[in-house]
Amino acid sequence: PGNYADSKKFVIREYTDEQYAAELNRIRERFSPLVELCKKRGIAMRIGTNHGSLSDRILNRYGDTPLGMVESALEFARIARDLEYHDFIFSMKASNPKIMIAAYRLLVARLNELGPDWNYPLHLGVTEAGEGEDARIKSAIGIGTLLADGIGDTIRVSLTEDSPHEIPVATALVENIKKTSDAQGPTLNAQLSFDPYSYQRRATETIAVVGVGDPGQRVKLGGAELIRVVVRQANFDKIAHKIDKMGDYQPEIIYENARVADVDPRDDAAIAKLNAEQSPQFVTVRDDVDFAAIPAFRLLAARLHPRHPILLKDVFDCRSRSVDFLTTLLTAATNIGSLLCDGIGDAIFVRGEEAPGQALRLSYNILQAAGSRIFKTDYVACPSCGRTLFNLQTTTAKIKEATSHLKGVKIAIMGCIVNGPGEMADADFGYVGGAPGKVNLYVGKTAVKFNIPEVEAVDRLKDLIREHGKWVEPVRRAAALEPAS
């Protein structure tokens, strides 16, 4: 939908019901022969909506929203069903995990409303996730959250890396869910504290706890404050001598000094005692609860008075730490990222990773990928395909080298102009393959520079960022954070 049989000109216009119906008839004419052919040959089809690739018709009626994504797919599904073709699977991909999660949940709700014969399988994916640790975290947040919800039948992790790298990540995500699905815990006998279809941060009161700086320094959290990063005293001691070299990956609160109340969310007396406190308390789930982190924190958020800020943990039992960093990363990203995307959590505490530097980097990268705390440049990069007009991996590396100091700027790197511009989502700037050896540059969704020779395109991108007032000169740091210490 959006790229098939549809025009995509970002035109703003009102569609009357007649015009809308005429558009649907046009799609029916274009789509029906394909459906008939698939039916005749016994071929299955994916009806896959991508956020950012919605048709003008859908955009004008529903906006660039999860609801628009769902309705777009349903338009095509209705045509397929009218032709008695049912071998299809849906997908609702987006590069923003919050949008992707909301779209799949909304689709499931709509399919349930439509009736039991609408129970088609779902393929999950976070699109244009990019590469490296950030891409793995983003994928785990989107795919892992939905798998933990019980949604999803096939998955793809899209990386801007050699395709075989995607497989261990996808396999580990599925293995992780298999492990935790046995520990989902009691059915929630409480109303969810969040709207699963639309993000809103849980509204707590603000508190101040002891910080890691000078004696007497306090760090605010909760309310509209930044979501904070917590470490254990023992880990803080290991890195205390090099804090000034740790750049943006700074510990902010020491767990042992923060007067955290830990409760079993099923314990009525403990919850009632906390809820009777008039001043906001900093609360987390106890380590000895015997169920998975996501349902445990959801239950806590549901039962705890909203004035109390919540500290999220990735795991409860640190003795069962994984020796494999990928599993640690995916577990932390799924558990903490999922809760952040549902608006739960005012501070995070990654404990699955023992190395303090690595645990801090993971904490901040999860906050960034969930869109909860932006502290560095955000990249959206397509996974590449037969249409790609330049080497995505080396180009992405070059662009990152030139721009990775630009906090809060979002840059899309897309291999072609066929699908690239539509799928850049909410990027501030786009670097898109226009022709072999030539690049088009975008500001938002508007192409502003065309056919720039590839050798000078990164410099032109820097110029463009400068022209739009978002460039700052890089500051050389004394030393980078040691990743695994």
Say whether residue 395 binds ligand SF4 (CB under 6 A).
no
Cα three-residue angle 328-329-335, rounded to 5 degrees: 90
- Name which position in 188, 190, 302, 418 contacts ligand SF4 (CB under 6 A): 418
CB 471 within 8 A of CB 465: yes
Nearer to ligand SF4, 352 or 420 (CB): 420
Say whether residue 383 binds ligand SF4 (CB under 6 A).
yes
Closest separation in Å from C-beta 132 to ligand SF4: 18
- CA dist 214 to 13, 210, 218, 252, 270, Å? 58, 10, 9, 12, 34
Instruction: Name which of residues 421 to 480 contact ligand SF4 (CB under 6 A).
Output: 423
Closest separation in Å from C-beta 385 to ligand SF4: 3
- CA dist 92 to 48, 102, 268, 352, 442, Å? 6, 9, 39, 31, 25
**Residues binding ligand SF4: number (CB under 6 A):** 13
Closest separation in Å from C-beta 381 to ligand SF4: 9
Nearer to ligand SF4, 260 or 414 (CB): 414
| Count of beta carbons in the 10 Å neighbourhood of residue 113 | 8
Cβ contacts of 387 within 8 Å, gap of 6 or more:
415, 416, 418, 419, 433
Cα three-residue angle 414-418-424, rounded to 5 degrees: 40
Say whether residue 420 binds ligand SF4 (CB under 6 A).
yes
Nearer to ligand SF4, 3 or 184 (CB): 3
Pairing of strands 123-126, 154-157: parallel
Residue 113, φ and ψ in degrees, nearest 5: -65, -40
CB 402 within 8 A of CB 173: no
- Name which position in 77, 157, 370, 416 contacts ligand SF4 (CB under 6 A): 416
Q: Binding string, 317-336, against ligand SF4, x = CB under 6 A?
A: --------------------
Return the residue nearest ligand SF4 (CB atom).
415
CB 228 within 8 A of CB 360: no
Closest separation in Å from C-beta 392 to ligand SF4: 7
Closest separation in Å from C-beta 387 to ligand SF4: 4
- Name which position in 11, 385, 435, 484 contacts ligand SF4 (CB under 6 A): 385
Interacting residues with ligand SF4 (CB under 6 A) = 382-385, 387-388, 414-416, 418-420, 423
